Amino acid sequence: MKKTGLLTMLCILVLSVVSFAETAVNPTKFPKEIKNITAVTEVFGTGQKLTGVIIEYNTAVKNDKLTKETFEVTDRTITNVYANNKAEKTKSGKNGRFVIIELNPSDEKAQLFIKANNIQVKQAKDISTVNGKIAKAYSETLTNNKIQNLVVDNFKQFEYKDPKTGTTVKYNLYIPKNYNKNKKYPMVMFIHDAGPLSENTETTLLQGNGATVWATPEEQAKHEAFVLAPQYSQKVVDDNGNYTTDLEATVNLIRDYLVKNYSIDTNRLYTTGQSMGGMMSIVMNFKYPDLFAGSYFVACQWDASLTAPMAKNNMWTVVSTGDSKAFPGWNAIVEVLAQNGGIVAKDAWRGDYTAEQFKEGVSKVLAENPKANIKYTTLEKGTLPALQAGNPGSEHMATWKTVYNIEGIRDWLFKQKKNK
């Protein structure tokens, strides 16, 4: 079942550009003072956005002479400008060959799902260099010749041909930066929804932050881990309880290949997914209840009568009360799990909570019953920030645009371990 439709086509269109990161994307001839211009992208809950520009000069630039008025970026709002001695963002600028231009991610033109990731920039004022020379302002608008996709570029792309099913699974794998084969690492698997179905392996990394949030420098500093993000080109599960061999092949990818070829802790395997991905994670939990140490289910559901085998598993579920399938679906699942020995802790949240309010909400759930292995939290209908007016399915889709940002749930997941 191939997924057609606008969203998938847009994903493929964007990825045709993104896949060639760090290569020349236009033949622009730069002024003699400039060596390279790099467009910088980041992935948010709402998808990939262009959030910065790095201009590499041939001579180090004086940081204290730069202001937001030094440059102009077409159709974008500049929020900060500074120099650095590395081609990366920093909290405090310093003299260096690289000028960092930070852009407002809320700009209408920031989103990359519907356009190529090119940026047009102009040096509107003279720039002082450390050797006393002046890089003159120029009237011409220049286009970037390089692209840097933060976090996304740190994933590697592979294919696994499962000998048991004959099915090939495309997947992205983040390997810890300082990987040591003599050390055991946890692994988080993120499975995308049915919207980003694509032949391009990287699509799942761009549609939202369900995969990339686990691989950010900040998250890896707390929880050094492998991150697995499979990419599917067809629906793997559907609302009628059917699923393809892709599901079994994905399980075999983990059990028969990854844990045997990398130093991965089999007592700390985790799964999470949104919509279709959450449904796949549910099926994996009741078919293979001993596989995962913890699961994070987002905006998904399944036939509750089949879920009893996962009653003792550690899980956290977040759904919107406005989600016409996931909300009643999980109400039924929680009832079955409780009847079969699961211990449940519940709470009702708003989707527009601040980070601090979500932190308090997580603490409340954890304190309700420390023995609870099932955490079930709902988001009040109409409160999610990414809701689209007139779109009845937006309560469903808006859920995952918010909930992977809840730090406390991510921290909880990494604390889960299988009983040996």
pLDDT in tens, 326-374: 999 999 999 999 999 999 999 999 999 999 999 999 999 999 999 999 9
3-state secondary structure of 200: coil
Mean pLDDT, all residues of the chain: 92
Under 8 Å CB-to-CB from 419, ≥6 apart: which residues? none
- This prediction has a pTM of 0.91
28 or 41, which is more confident?
41
Residues of the chain with pLDDT > 90, as a percent, come to: 87
Under 8 Å CB-to-CB from 37, ≥6 apart: which residues? 28, 30, 53, 54, 55, 56, 119, 121, 142, 143, 144, 145, 146
Q: How far apart are CA 360 and CA 402, in angstroms?
A: 16
286 has pLDDT over 90: yes
Mean per-residue pLDDT, 9-36: 55
Q: Which among 325, 347, 297 has a CA at the least distance from the CA of 395?
A: 325
Mean per-residue pLDDT, 306-321: 98
**pLDDT tens track for 268-277:** 999 999 999 9
Residue-level pLDDT at 15: 34
Task: Indicate the pLDDT class of residue 2, thresholds 50, 70 and 90.
Answer: very low
Residue-level pLDDT at 118: 84
Domains of the chain, CATH where assigned: 34-149 (2.60.40.2180), 152-415 (3.40.50.1820)
Task: Indicate the pLDDT class of residue 28, thresholds 50, 70 and 90.
Answer: low
244 or 13, which is more confident?
244
Residue-level pLDDT at 391: 74
61 burial (CB, 10 Å; 0-12 / 13-18 / 19+) is buried
Mean per-residue pLDDT, 259-269: 98
